[in-house]
């Protein structure tokens, strides 16, 4: 019998960038159309560093939600050299779900990031005691380290010592891109998990660089070679609950990506579940999509599973070339103008 559709528990996006201001009116409806909840990254300008700032940001996100749509933004705070134990306690009491570690200079709006983890020891001890996860952008930033090696070296130099020092600290190694990260997460002590983006499951660095530079495939951590992509899809489709969905959908206006110094980030919120279904189907693992998308992330964060289901149709449609964005600018989704083999049909 030919497969016409699949129904799965409504998924959660455990890593997304929504930005702020008018941009919310474009991107919040996209994420909320498919996902029941999303872990909102705090790399705004200025960064979201206190429970009060997170509460105000959450209110602005909810104001951009279309009428009648059920969606819960899960808030995170930006760890800095100055995050205090009091900040961590206040965050926990306010229902913040984690602190995001951006090594200073690693990516978009990371200037206020951590310069040395030693400066954060008091905050990390409280997070460990409270069970409040640390969400990690896992790349070293040393100028002498090749950009394609920055994740693997981060694991050895930063992550392994960090976990030895705080063995009970819950850690999410975000948007993993390498075989080394997949192997580390699968084999190390309990308390670690990892998000994987759809673009890292579907593409290797050839997509970005062969035949010309394609800036809409540029993100951080950068796409790697094919053997790494294969390790990522094997991990995602393994049914191991340490691997779950996080799109890292990151909106940047078209002219800031198609630029001599283009911004990092792929916009996938519009068609996220279609992309993940395509990746899982390629390895004949559609039966593993629900655990990855809708179960394992919730379990890691101690959240109930979503009550509703969504339907994905095996049906072709074509992505728009661009979306209208703030101030008359455009936003180009990944795969703009291309045909997709799966179509999100809605919440059942
Ligand atoms: O590609 C990326 N874009 N990687 C990140 O870590 C940040 C994100 C953004 O905020 O644009
Ligand atoms: Zn991100």
Determine the pLDDT at residue 109. 80
What domains are defined for the chain?
5-347 (3.20.20.140)
pTM over 0.95: yes
Nearest C-alpha to atom 10 of ligand 1 is from which residue? 108
Q: Which residues of the chain have pLDDT under 50?
A: none
Cα of 262 vs centre of ligand 1, distance in Å, is 12
Please identify, by atom number, the ligand 1 atom nearest to the C-alpha of residue 218.
1
Determine the pLDDT at residue 305. 98
Determine the pLDDT at residue 317. 98
Pocket test for ligand 1, best of 172, 248, 249, 331 (most atoms within 8 A of CB): 248
Residue 220: CB within 6 Å of ligand 1?
yes
Residues identified as active-site: 248
Q: What is the pLDDT of residues 189-229, one digit of tens each?
A: 999 999 999 999 999 999 999 999 999 999 999 999 999 99
Please identify, by atom number, the ligand 1 atom nearest to the C-alpha of residue 221.
4
Determine the pLDDT at residue 1. 73
HEC-encoded secondary structure of the chain = CCCCEEEEECCEEEEECCCCCCHHHHHHHHHHHHCCEEEECCCCCCCCCCHHHHHHHHHHHHHCCCCCCCCEEEEEEECCCCCCHHHHHHHHHCCCCEEEECECCCCCCCCCCECCHHHHHHHHHHHHHHCCCEEECCCCCCCCCCHHHHHHHHHHHHHHHHHHHCCCCCEEECCCCCHHHHHHHHHCCCCEEEEECHHHHHCCCHHHHCCCCCHHHCCCCCCCCHHHHHHHHHHHCCCCCCEEECCCECCCCHHHHCCCCCCCCCCCHHHHHHHHHHHHHHCCCHHHHHHHHHHHHHHHHCCCCCCCEEEEECCCEECCCCEECHHHCEECCCCCCCEECCEEEEEC
Cα of 174 vs centre of ligand 2, distance in Å, is 8
Cα of 77 vs centre of ligand 2, distance in Å, is 13
Please identify, by atom number, the ligand 1 atom nearest to the C-alpha of residue 251.
11
Q: What is the pLDDT of residues 309-336, one digit of tens each?
A: 999 999 999 999 999 999 999 999 999 9
């Amino acid at each position: 019998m030919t497969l016409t559709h699949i129904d799965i528990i409504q998924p959660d996006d455990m890593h997304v960038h929504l930005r702020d201001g008018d941009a919310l009116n474009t991107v919040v409806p996209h994420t909320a159309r498919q996902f029941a909840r999303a872990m909102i990254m705090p790399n705004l300008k200025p960064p979201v560093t206190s429970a009060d700032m997170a509460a105000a940001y959450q209110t602005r996100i909810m104001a951009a939600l279309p009428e009648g749509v059920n969606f819960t933004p899960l808030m995170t705070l930006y760890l800095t050299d100055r995050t205090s134990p009091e900040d961590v306690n206040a965050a926990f009491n306010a229902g913040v779900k984690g602190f995001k570690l951006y090594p200073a200079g690693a990516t978009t709006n990371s200037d206020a990031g951590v310069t040395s983890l030693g400066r954060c020891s008091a905050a990390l001890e409280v997070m460990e005691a409270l069970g409040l996860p640390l969400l990690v952008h896992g790349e070293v930033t040393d100028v002498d380290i090749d950009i394609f090696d920055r994740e693997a070296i981060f694991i050895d130099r930063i992550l392994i010592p960090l976990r030895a020092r705080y063995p009970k600290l819950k850690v999410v190694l975000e948007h993993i891109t390498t075989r080394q990260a997949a192997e580390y997460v699968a084999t190390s002590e309990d308390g670690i998990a990892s998000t994987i983006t759809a673009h890292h499951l579907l593409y290797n660095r050839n997509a970005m660089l062969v035949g010309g530079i394609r800036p809409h495939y540029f993100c951080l951590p950068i796409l790697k070679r094919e053997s790494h992509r294969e390790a990522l899809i094997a991990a995602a489709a393994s049914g191991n609950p340490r691997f779950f969905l996080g799109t890292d959908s990151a909106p940047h206006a078209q002219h800031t990506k198609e630029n001599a110094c283009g911004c990092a980030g792929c916009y996938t919120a519009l068609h996220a579940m279609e992309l993940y279904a395509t990746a899982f189907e390629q390895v004949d693992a559609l039966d593993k999509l629900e655990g990855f998308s809708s179960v394992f992330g919730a379990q890691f964060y101690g959240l109930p599973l979503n009550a509703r289901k969504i339907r994905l149709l095996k049906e072709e449609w074509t992505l728009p070339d661009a979306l209208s964005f703030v101030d008359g600018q455009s936003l180009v989704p990944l795969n703009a103008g291309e045909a997709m083999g799966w179509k999100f049909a809605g919440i059942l």
